[in-house]
Amino acid sequence: MTVPRKKPVNGRNEGASAERELANLLTSLGFEASRGQQQKGGADSPDVICEALSGFHIEAKFSKACKMHSPATLAEWDAQAIRDAAGLRVPLVVHRWNGQRVWWVRVLLPARRPVWLTLTDFLNDVDHWRVRP
């Protein structure tokens, strides 16, 4: 008897699906959002576009397991978010993993330690995290 093999997960499709899921969740919470354009990279193409969060660059990360405590993964994610925000927006890494309903937000403010919050807590106090000119 042959055991059917699982099809490999296409990381790009999984990422796009997570970005759509996050955009839909933000919209359901009153923050109209859509998936961004991923072709270019940079501050003008975040993973999720949300006018109400225009001062933030959203980098969505979905994984099979929790990566909130992996220094190597966080260094990679933080570097990408900071690079793509280009100093024009506050970089956010928004993370969820398989089996978890809660999305977590890593806020990367300049000259401050990164902070993890649930998406709900972040949105409830979003003005606290905005950089003022």
Give the pLDDT of residue 4: 54
Q: For residue 16, count CB atoms less than 10 angstroms from its CB and return exposed for 0-12, middle for 13-18, buried for 19 or more.
A: middle
Task: Enter the pTM of the model.
Answer: 0.84
- Number of domains present in the structure of the chain: 1
pLDDT by position in tens, the chain (length 133): 555 555 445 556 667 888 999 999 999 999 999 998 654 555 567 899 999 999 999 999 999 999 999 999 999 999 999 999 999 999 999 999 999 999 999 999 988 999 999 999 999 999 999 887 6
Residue 6 is assigned to a structural domain of this protein: no
Give the pLDDT of residue 40: 52
Residue 112 is assigned to a structural domain of this protein: yes
Give the pLDDT of residue 1: 56
Residue 1 is assigned to a structural domain of this protein: no
Residue 51 is assigned to a structural domain of this protein: yes
Residue 44 is assigned to a structural domain of this protein: yes
> How do residues 78-96 score in pLDDT, each as one tens digit?
999 999 999 999 999 999 9
How far is Cα 119 from Cα 35, in angstroms, rounded to an integer?
Answer: 17
Residue 106 is assigned to a structural domain of this protein: yes
Task: Tell me the residue range of the domain where 43 lies.
Answer: 11-129
CATH number, domain of 64, equals 3.40.1350
Residue 74 is assigned to a structural domain of this protein: yes
Residue 53 is assigned to a structural domain of this protein: yes
